Amino acid sequence: MPRQAKRPQGSESGALLDIRNLRIEATVYPPGEDPRDIVIVDDVSLTLTKGKVLGLIGESGAGKSTIGLSSMGYGRGGVRITGGQVILNGRDILKGGQKGFRQLRGREVCYVAQSAAAAFNPAHRLMRQVIEASLKHGVFSRAEAEKRAIALFKELSLPDPEHIGDRYPHQVSGGQLQRVMTAMALCSKPDLIVFDEPTTALDVTTQIDVLAAIKKAIRDTGVAALYITHDLAVVAQVADDIMVLRHGKKVEKGDTRQIIKEPREQYTGALVSVHEIPHEEHKPAEPILSVKNVTAAYGGGQVKVLKNVSVDLSAGQTLAVVGESGSGKSTLARAITGLLPPMEGSIVFDGRPLPPRLGDRKKNDLRELQMIYQMADVAMNPRQTVGTIIGRPIQFYFGLKGRKRDEMVRELLDKIEMGSGFFDRYPAELSGGQKQRVCIARALAAKPKLIICDEVTSALDPLVANGILKLLLNLQQEENVAYLFITHDLATVKSIADSIAVMYRGSVVRYGPRSEVLTPPFDAYTDLLLSSVPEMEIGWLEKAISGRRMESAGN
Amino acid sequence: MKSPLLKLVAQRVGLSVILLFAVSLLIFVGTQILPGDVAQSILGQSATPEAVANLRESLGLNQPAYLRYLEWLGGLLTGHLGNALSNGLPIGPELWQRLKNTLFLAFWAAAISVPLSTVLGLIAVRHKNGFIDKMISATTLLTISLPDFFIGYLLIYFVAVKLGWFTSVSTVFDGMPFLQRMNAIVLPATALTLVVLAQMMRMTRAAILNVMQSAYVETAQLKGLSQFEIIWHHAFPNSIAPIINVIMLNLAYLVVGVVVIEVIFVYPGMGQYLVDHVAKRDVPVVQDCGLIFAAVYIGLNMLADIFAILSNPRLRHPK
């Protein structure tokens, strides 16, 4: 086995990657129409020198992943590179064909995917997968590769670096898996790593650890990186330069400080200030919902997921429930809606105790308490039109039919700022934000007093999420509806909540009006949670890590 | 290893045993409601009512049904398969001989068809939607679409009669030299292979293609692995469960569904034995054959389930 595979050296200018006038197209097959070609990336050029990190930022559909993967000659889902050059280490890789691509993938360029949990093969041990590319390309012998992998596990602060490679992917937590994937990318000593939203699927407290590990590994190994994300605050921590993309075109490019402090384009400015929503905090008033000492468990009392939880929500106000995955916040929603009857405690709604079981509740109880979900597209029947979806609760709760019902649907469509033109559309024809708006309209159609919003903006791009939050606040003023807002995103909470409950391992660790909850002194967990939210500031990451009082749960 | 794995496997085995008992009951009831009377058919046209009554008495046909069932079941559990009604000889030795023949034929048909279909499936995935894929699909679909007796006669006509390579009569007997025996079963084994090939190959192809959509296959592609390495190392291990299921169903077919092929090639297997004795109203033989077929079916399906459980790394290596 050859010890070192031959590799061309970088061009004289020092540019490792030079993408010129890249154009990428794909064929789409819209239902009921002829297939047509669409342009995904249009005339994008970028250069990356050795050891530098370039952030690619934009909302979904901006073409950032597509550009990143083009550096490996890979088109996901049948997209085609139809123009331009991708010059890597001094040669245009697009001329190399499949064989050329295979030689550079895993050798010169490696990839770190968004969901490491899905990107690892469940059938093989981690070590085998980590060293696979190094063996394939003949970079190291098996023993050398394993030694390097263990060193990288150490570098990335993984627990038990000597033996973690013997585990299977399902035996390792999400945050650890993401770091193992980074080690996998680094193992064959590539020149360039494409990080494709590597921390997006993680909890905020885990994200900060992974981010720090990635940053350290990049610095210590001197590898160059394309860092793709939709979160400007995250990329500001690791990137030297940032390129902002929208609809497959470059918006602007500059060094990190310039982009976040002095954005030239309006769109960049909107991304920078995305979390700022003006909202005056309301003082606590008469509660519409009182959760009193609720304890709930799965498996017939085996696994307690809610422990003695008590919170109040005032009418017409917003209570934000925050915590990381597994903290019990969605279970609280299930207890309130009656899907998981509590073992102990009571739930008082609008002055009357609610029956614990969903089946025992009256139609009016159901009507006054509505829900909106994280995944808008799976919460709607894909074979029903928007009109039918929104009209259904009107018919069910108020018995209205025909023209009267349609009229109300149109009013609701106006309220969610979509307009009655969407009446006959199907969910598949809507964007992510529009789908969530339809779900909001469906909840409002029942004229509820309380809506439980379960991570309603988590699956959306920041700017779209921002629009949804503004809409929710407007609707709250108009309809005087209360929100129980479940989220892991503290930035959202800061902008829209009136009161906040912080949950940790099934208990409420901090609860009160927003201004009080967010004012020090903090308990250790709230401190960790608050200090883990990335801020749009260079050097925030190092400050946050050094100032921590508590290890995150994912570690 | 104190793991959920053992429990799951034990559950599957337990269920299979219960199922086998239920089937034995069903077979017994089924044979009881068969039309016709054994004594009558043994004695033929000349039977007097007295002779029929005597024979019924001596055959134990006058006992209540549940007693006869328990007697049969007890005999099976102690290894006594009973005597055939038609000739009074013990069923055991004859049945064992037939079963060995059937398993011999099934084994060699499986030994060819299982690897062949899996490899063809892998090749089809490698050349997805290309000419080779379409050729494989078309050929295997053609062979599965032809009835098995037709394939049998085609082989006899071309290979045995026209070319004269192998004999069309696959009679085997005790003490036959191995090579001669192999020579005898070439044609029936080929016919069986052609019959079962298509389904296993299509399933292999579909199961792997399904896995080829996964993110970890993309990871493998981005490591620069070749298409065949990706299919073999990354896709195949994750699609074993559905493939094994279909393989086991086809193996079961090789044992219990080969009556037609046996008759065409005059092969002394279980199928022929069963059919002969149904015609003779020989209830004990029919019951025993039925139960053995059921046991093969249940056993192979149990194996498929156990393999599926074992192929799941989440169960094999709990957290």
pLDDT in tens, A392-412: 999 999 998 889 999 999 999
At B127-154, the pLDDT tens digits run 888 899 999 989 888 888 888 888 888 8
3-state secondary structure of A29: coil
Q: What is the Rg, in whole angstroms, of the alpha carbon atoms belonging to chain B?
A: 24
Nearest to B313 among A113, A129, A170 (CB): A170
Same fold, A53-77+98-272 and A317-337+360-519: yes
Q: Which CATH number fits domain A317-337+360-519: 3.40.50.720, 3.50.50.60, 3.40.50.300, 3.40.190.10?
A: 3.40.50.300
At B1-33, the pLDDT tens digits run 456 788 888 989 999 999 999 998 898 888 777
- pLDDT category of residue B38 using cuts at 50, 70 and 90: low
Please report, for residues A58, A252, A254, the alpha-carbon distance to residue A262 in angstroms, rounded to integers and kept in the order given: 17, 12, 10
Distance CA B174, CA A502 (A): 80
Distance CA A396, CA A183 (A): 54
A120 at B interface, C-beta within 8 A: yes
User: Which is nearest to A159 in space by CA: A141, A171, A147?
Assistant: A171
Residues B238, A122: C-beta atoms closer than 8 Å: yes
Distance CA A465, CA A533 (A): 17
Looking at CA atoms only, how far is residue A103 from chain B in angstroms? 6
A124 at B interface, C-beta within 8 A: yes
Q: ipTM for the complex? A: 0.78
pLDDT of residue A451: 94
Nearest to A168 among B219, B225, B317 (CB): B317
Phi/psi of residue A58, nearest 5 degrees: 165, 170
pLDDT of residue A7: 46
Contacts of B308 in chain A (CB under 8 A): none
Domain ranges of chain A: 53-77+98-272, 317-337+360-519
B213 at A interface, C-beta within 8 A: no
Please report, for residues B93, B180, B215, the alpha-carbon distance to residue B176 in angstroms, rounded to integers and kept in the order given: 18, 7, 55
Q: Letter for the amino acid at A433?
A: G
Q: What token pair was written down for A388?
A: 């039918």
Give the start-end residues of each E strand in A152-248. Answer: 192-196, 224-229, 241-246
A143 at B interface, C-beta within 8 A: no
Nearest to A122 among B221, B233, B313 (CB): B313
- CA B166 to the chain's CA centroid: 25
Superfamily of domain B91-316: MetI-like (1.10.3720.10)
Residues A103, B314: C-beta atoms closer than 8 Å: no
Residue A35 has pLDDT above 90, yes or no: no
CB atoms within 10 A of CB A293: 12
At A248-300, the pLDDT tens digits run 899 999 999 898 888 898 888 888 877 677 777 888 888 899 999 999 888 77
Domain A53-77+98-272 CATH assignment equals 3.30.1340.30: no
